[in-house]
Amino acid sequence: MKLDSLIRTAPSWMSGADDADGIVLSCRARLARNLANYPFATRITRPQQQQVIDEVLAAAKSSRSMSTATYFGMSVLDGDERRVLVERHLISPTLADEKGERGVLFNQDESLSVMINEEDHLRLQAISPGTRGREAFTAICALDDELLAAIDCAHDSRLGFLTACPTNTGTGLRLSVLIHLPALVLTEDMERVLQGLGQLSFTVRGMYGEGSNAAGNLFQISNQATLGASEESILEELIRITEQLVGFEREAQDSLRQEARGQVEDKVWRAFGLLSQARILTSQEFMNLLSAVRLGCTLGLVTGVPSSFLNHLMIATQPSHLRADAGRGLTPAERDLRRAEIVRNKLSEVTNS
Among 61, 134, 155, 346, binds another protein (CB under 8 A): 155
C-alpha distances (whole Å) from 330 to each of 295, 335, 343 are 31, 6, 17
Residue whose C-alpha is closest to residue 21's, from 252, 309, 300, 313: 300
Scanning 5-13, 30-38, 73-81, 256-264 for contacts with another protein by CB under 8 A, the matching segment is: 30-38
Among 1, 17, 150, 153, binds another protein (CB under 8 A): 153
Q: What are the residues facing 179 on neighbouring strands?
A: 24, 219
Scanning 91-99, 126-134, 170-178, 271-279 for contacts with another protein by CB under 8 A, the matching segment is: 170-178
Nearest to another protein of 155, 250 (CB atom): 155
Q: Would you give the binding string for another protein spanning residues 35-64, x where CB under 8 A is met?
A: -x-xxxxxx---------------------
**Cα–Cα distance, 183 to 302 (Å, whole number):** 16
Among 101, 119, 135, 336, binds another protein (CB under 8 A): 119
C-alpha distances (whole Å) from 209 to each of 46, 119, 188, 244 are 28, 15, 23, 22
Percent helix, strand and coil across the chain, each to the nearest 5: 50, 15, 30
- Ramachandran category for residue 160: left, alpha or beta (phi over 0 → left; psi -120 to 50 → alpha): left
Verify binding: residue 239, another protein, rule CB under 8 A: no
- In the bound complex, what is the minimum distance in angstroms from residue 120's beta carbon to another protein? 10
Query: With contact defined as beta carbons under 8 Å apart, do 4 and 84 qualify?
Result: no
- In the bound complex, what is the minimum distance in angstroms from residue 155's beta carbon to another protein? 5
Among 67, 230, 277, 348, binds another protein (CB under 8 A): 230
Verify binding: residue 134, another protein, rule CB under 8 A: no
Verify binding: residue 158, another protein, rule CB under 8 A: yes
Verify binding: residue 228, another protein, rule CB under 8 A: yes
**Cα–Cα distance, 33 to 25 (Å, whole number):** 27
Residue whose C-alpha is closest to residue 33's, from 126, 160, 163: 163
Contacts with 261 (C-beta within 8 Å, 6 or more apart), sequence order: none
Which positions from 293 through 352 interact with another protein, judged by CB under 8 A? none
Scanning 33-41, 242-250, 326-334, 344-352 for contacts with another protein by CB under 8 A, the matching segment is: 33-41
Please give the residue ranges that form the binding site for another protein (CB under 8 A): 34, 36, 38-43, 119, 141, 144, 148-149, 153-167, 169-171, 173, 201, 225-232
